Chain A
Amino acid sequence: MLVNCEKQDGIGVIQVSKALTAATVDAFRDQFNHWSMAETEVKNYVIDLAEVDFMDSAGLGTLIAVLKRITEQGGDMKIANLQKKPRMVFEITRAYKVFEIYESVEDAIKGFE
């Protein structure tokens, strides 16, 4: 599981590659937590799922846990570049009602303005 974290306009952009499943969520969570602890001034996040081609309930649960943690700290989180197959998981689980989903990272960053 490779997580690339960077700051754009004060917003944390988390690029996730590979599938987000039970086998990879621990690595995602660890890397995200590690980066967010180092970057304490970052409150808002965009999760870029352009390279995530599959997701199961564990992956979705982790995204919800991350969203909960970010909102508890007074921030917000948006999803960008949701691919077709993960989108289907979002649709059947009603997760599209929980997350704000944008076509691109740029659109998601604009969404914070």
Chain B
Amino acid sequence: MIAVINTSIPCAWAGDISEKPWVLLPIANRPLIDYWLEACTEQHIRSVHIVLHDGAEEVEQYVGSGTRWNVSVEYVFARSTETPVDYLRSISSYWKKGLLYFGGPFFMRRRQAFRPERFRELTACRNDFGNLPYFLYGQNGDDVSRLLDGFEAPGRGLEAIHVHPFVIGTVGDYFDINMKMVSGEFTRYVTAGFATADQSSVGFNVRTPPSSYLRAPIIVGDDCRFGAMTTVGPNALVANHVIVDAFSELSNCLVLEDTYIGRNLEIRNKIVAGNRVIDPADGAFIQIDDSWLVARNRPELMTEDVVRLTVLWCVALVLAALQFIPFLVLYPFIKLSGVAAFRRELFHDPHTGYISLLIFGKIANRKSLLYRIFRALSLDRFPLIILVLRGRMFLCGQPPLRHPKDDAVVKQLKRYYPGVFCYRDYNHDSDLLTDALWYAHIRSLYEDLKILVKAFVSRFLTAGRQIPADSE
């Protein structure tokens, strides 16, 4: 027996949710194709043909050679002139010993009485949607031929083995099946992550502060971050790598991967996919490029990062050139006056683990014009700018994190960019962890230049004061 998975069938509603091919759209945080390949494994099928079209590369990247499901995958490209039935007829020599076919957004919804071993009792059946076969099963060539010729299959097909053939024809259907899964049905499938008796499944590396609430039933993917006072659930399905900012509430909703949900929002009866909010009731959506509301968590943007860091390295070179002579002239006077000095402190470093940085601070509690000028011109950051030129720090980035004081914060960061200038230079009340997470999420050349300008202006205007970043 072979299996054929046809991903070339157009699926209009899926484009409103994601740019991914529809077979990779998650149901309870697992791509639809994952369930189909799992069914192949349960049927002891070893040979799987996947028909590709749009999004071929992504499908191939996800499935690979099929070893994860213990199947051998062959990829073919669909011809635009060929219907799915024509294609199946053209490969009749392959399915003489039976065929399992998936060809559309179709989910085999398991009822409570379903047992995987019952799959072997499945009789020949075909499920159509809009004149297209979405599912077809025959144990031998004759069965398959009859089904392809349009003959009615005897028996109740999938229903007989307690599987409900759920066709996902609209965004609403997609939302419904996900909500059914999160409300308890997901335990009938192999679930990733950690599932508890209270019908909650939480993935790996999920960070929740003590003040946030997770209310079962929920499904949370891997690498998620929830802010303070957030409420997630009941019936919230959150995919991988989602950041929910403080005071937000999520319930009866589906949040797809790489989504940032801003502060103090209320997501109910909605699908949120990156910067898109979709109402499943009618499929209406808004695309918001607004990081105060919802946004796309960016994956590693290596190229953009390289460009950004190159530009900022050049800016650091200019700054170092401008500060070199004033620093050499002013610092000896500061040291002689005894009002302030550099001291070495141990910080975390993304490459070597730890780094000793020169931190400037007052040592005498008295007013000093020299000190104010030194601070106003940000000459106290000159040694750190030199480290930027040596590639040991970033000109703008997250606040450098002290060792051992900030060890707990470092553990919560996926990416660490210790910057000479950071949000704390102009927003002294900001939270260290929130700043670090936010910067990793929003980092860009524009953001860096904004930090740089605001930090310089703020430090110039508040030069007489000791800022927390220096004095802590």
Chain A contact residues, CB within 8 Å of chain B:
54, 56-58, 84-85, 88-89, 91-94
Q: Is the CB of B270 within 8 A of A57?
A: no
Q: Is the CB of A88 within 8 A of B292?
A: no
B267-282 CB mask vs A (1 if < 8 Å, else 0) is 1101000000101001
B355-369 CB mask vs A (1 if < 8 Å, else 0) is 000000000000000
Q: Is the CB of A57 within 8 A of B268?
A: no
Indicate whether A88 sits within 8 Å of B279 (C-beta atoms), given known contacts A93-B265, A94-B264.
yes
| CB neighbors of A among B270-298 (8 A) | 270, 277, 279, 282, 284, 286, 288-290, 292-294
Q: Is the CB of A84 within 8 A of B284?
A: yes
Q: Which residues of A contact B279 (CB under 8 A)?
A: 84, 88
A31-B213 Cα distance, complex, nearest whole Å = 44
Q: Which residue of B lies closest to A84 (CB)?
A: B284
Taking each of A57, A89, A92, which has the highest tally of chain B beta carbons within 10 Å of its own beta carbon? A92
CB distance from B134 to the nearest CB of A (A): 31
Q: Is the CB of A56 within 8 A of B293?
A: yes
A91-B290 Cα distance, complex, nearest whole Å = 16
**Chain A contact residues, majority secondary structure:** helix
**Chain B contact residues, majority secondary structure:** loop
Query: Mind listing 23 A-B residue pairs with CB under 8 Å?
Result: A54-B286, A56-B288, A56-B289, A57-B262, A57-B290, A84-B279, A84-B284, A85-B286, A88-B270, A88-B277, A88-B284, A89-B286, A89-B293, A91-B266, A91-B268, A92-B265, A92-B266, A92-B267, A92-B270, A92-B277, A92-B293, A92-B294, A94-B264
CB distance from A55 to the nearest CB of B (A): 9
CB distance from B468 to the nearest CB of A (A): 28
Q: Which residue of A lies closest to B247 (CB)?
A: A94
Indicate whether A88 sits within 8 Å of B286 (C-beta atoms), given known contacts A56-B293, A57-B293, A93-B293.
yes
CB distance from A33 to the nearest CB of B (A): 23
Q: Which residues of B contact A89 (CB under 8 A)?
A: 286, 288, 293
Question: Which 5 A-B pairs rank lowest in CB-CB distance, beginning with the nearest?
Answer: A57-B292, A56-B290, A85-B286, A57-B290, A92-B265
A92-B264 Cα distance, complex, nearest whole Å = 9
CB distance from B295 to the nearest CB of A (A): 11
Taking each of B277, B284, B286, which has the highest tally of chain A beta carbons within 10 Å of its own beta carbon? B286
Q: Which residues of B contact A57 (CB under 8 A)?
A: 262, 290, 292-293
A54-B287 Cα distance, complex, nearest whole Å = 9
Q: Which residues of B contact A56 (CB under 8 A)?
A: 288-290, 293
Taking each of B268, B277, B284, B290, which has the highest tally of chain A beta carbons within 10 Å of its own beta carbon? B290
* Given A56-B293, A89-B288, A92-B293, 19 additional A-B pairs, CB 8 A: A54-B286, A56-B290, A57-B262, A57-B290, A57-B292, A58-B290, A84-B279, A84-B282, A84-B284, A85-B284, A85-B286, A88-B286, A89-B286, A89-B293, A92-B265, A92-B294, A93-B265, A93-B266, A94-B266
